């Protein structure tokens, strides 16, 4: 991939796509196309195109007219456990449609290399830990995100079989749970870490009695659950009712050691807090994606590729990767309760955390085995606490 190569980042307005665009610009790439579906990203120095990738006609038109050399497939319909479990048909249909349209068009119009972005939810619910690439399809999936996972598995298999039938150079990467700037902070559809950041931020504002700050936050991002409709004529009582619906409430006021009056606030989170999750800053993922796009080819990973020469494979990966699939993560995880207390302390919230065990919490553990990406020569750079601090500062300033 050269500085003048035509590079398409599909889904440039999303968490992952925007991070890849930033990294490409930072590295001096000068011929970048970014696509978006509804919300136009704010980038200088790239061509921005509004394209609905669920439409076969629009997708083929994009590839026919612009003929990109390299493609990052970061476009997807994404969400947390509630969104996945609520909008099941939308998640499987839209993500499968995007994969079918993009991967076939990439083959049809001669893309040199495609990198398909997936998710660690593709692995079985009770997969051995840490999860190796070869555990794909070895046991049942987590039911709450099965539709999304099946669509992502289909994309992996599409890349594999196009490679094997047509000799294409399509790879897939499976990142662990991601976080970073431009994340989704809608509490109905967000993933766990951005949801925690926003919940504790709102809780801190309630502690301080800063209703103006709470209203400013409500206007900045959708709340979800149809609650934005209740903001037409807000007062303290209606704001408190909205926060209560989000699991944030107070019972009385106390004075701290500085003489300030603080509301005694509690936050209730879904599940038990005992499940484990691994987190990767999206800037690290973007760095890994560029590394793979520049240094790794499909035929170096699997003996099933028609261009493979076993004696001259580029990397000594063991085992081989028949699905052209590479895990990307940190190799470290923690419980949701541990994560919640880290976020709480960074935000500066003083109250108590409770758990609603009647709510779903997903797979017990999702730690990726990152042996192969490390053998290829890449590792993450941003620590979790450092990364959360950066995101919280961005959230407050954005």
**Does 126 map to a domain?**
yes
Q: What percent of the chain has pLDDT over 90?
A: 73
Q: Name residue 113's beta-bridge partners.
A: 70
pLDDT score recorded for residue 257: 47
Q: List the domain range (segments joined by +) for residue 19.
A: 7-182+279-331+368-382
Tell me the CA distances in angstroms from 70 to 10, 297, 315, one per residue in order: 11, 12, 22
Confidence at residue 308, expressed as pLDDT on a 0 to 100 scale: 74
Tens digit of each residue's pLDDT (9 = 90 or more) over 262-315? 679 999 999 999 999 999 999 999 999 999 999 999 998 988 888 875 554 555
CA dist., res. 97 & res. 157, Å (int)? 14
Instruction: Kindly list the distances between the CA atom of residue 88 and the CA atoms of 145, 168, 269, in Å, as whole numbers in the listed order.
Output: 8, 31, 23
Number of domains in the chain: 1
Query: Is residue 57 one of the residues assigned to a domain?
Result: yes
Does residue 264 lie in a domain region? no
> Structure pTM?
0.89
On whether residue 134 sits in a domain, the answer given is yes
Q: Identify whether 225 is part of a domain.
A: no
Give the bridge partners for 7, in sequence order.
32, 70
What's residue 190's pLDDT? 86
**Does residue 307 form part of some domain?**
yes
Query: Quick one: average pLDDT of 56-75?
Result: 98
- Which residues are catalytic, by number? 148
Q: 113: domain CATH number?
A: 3.40.50.720
* Residues β-bridged to residue 354: 268
* 137 domain-assigned: yes
Are 17 and 9 within 8 A, CB to CB? yes
Asked if the structure places residue 108 within a domain, the reply is yes
């Amino acid at each position: 991939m050269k500085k003048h190569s035509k590079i398409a980042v599909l889904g440039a307005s999303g968490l992952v796509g925007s991070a890849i665009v930033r990294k490409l610009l930072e590295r001096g790439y000068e011929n970048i196309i970014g696509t978006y579906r509804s919300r136009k990203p704010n980038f200088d120095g790239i061509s921005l195109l509004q394209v609905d990738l669920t439409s076969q006609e629009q997708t083929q038109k994009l590839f026919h007219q612009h003929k990109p050399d390299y493609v990052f497939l970061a476009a997807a319909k994404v969400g947390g456990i509630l969104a996945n479990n609520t909008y099941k048909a939308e998640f499987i249909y839209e993500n499968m449609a995007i994969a079918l349209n993009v991967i076939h068009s990439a083959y049809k119009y001669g893309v040199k290399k495609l990198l398909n972005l997936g998710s660690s939810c593709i692995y079985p619910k009770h997969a051995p830990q840490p999860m190796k690439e070869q555990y794909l399809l070895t046991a049942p999936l987590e039911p709450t995100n099965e539709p999304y996972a099946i669509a992502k598995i289909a994309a992996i298999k599409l890349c594999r079989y196009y490679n094997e039938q047509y000799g294409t150079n399509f790879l897939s990467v499976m990142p662990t749970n991601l976080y970073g700037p431009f994340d989704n902070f809608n509490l109905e559809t967000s993933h766990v870490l951005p949801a925690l950041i926003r919940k504790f931020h709102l809780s801190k504002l309630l502690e301080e009695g800063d209703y103006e700050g709470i209203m400013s936050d409500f206007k900045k991002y959708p709340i979800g659950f149809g609650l934005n409709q209740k903001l037409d004529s807000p007062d303290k009582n209606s704001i408190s009712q909205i926060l209560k619906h989000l699991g944030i409430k107070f019972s009385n006021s106390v004075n701290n050691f500085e003489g300030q009056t603080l509301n005694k606030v509690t936050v209730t989170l879904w599940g038990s807090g005992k499940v484990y999750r691994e987190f990767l800053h999206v800037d690290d993922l973007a760095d890994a994606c560029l590394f793979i796009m520049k240094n790794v080819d499909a035929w170096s990973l699997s003996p099933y590729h028609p261009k493979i020469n076993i004696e001259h494979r580029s990397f000594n990966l063991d085992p081989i990767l028949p699905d052209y699939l590479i895990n990307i993560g940190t190799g470290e995880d923690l419980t949701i309760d541990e994560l919640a207390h880290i976020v709480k302390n960074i935000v500066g919230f003083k109250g108590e955390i409770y758990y609603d065990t009647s709510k779903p919490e997903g797979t017990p553990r999702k730690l990726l085995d990152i042996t192969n990406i490390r053998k290829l020569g890449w590792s993450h750079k941003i620590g979790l606490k450092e990364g959360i601090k950066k995101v919280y500062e961005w959230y407050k300033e954005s």
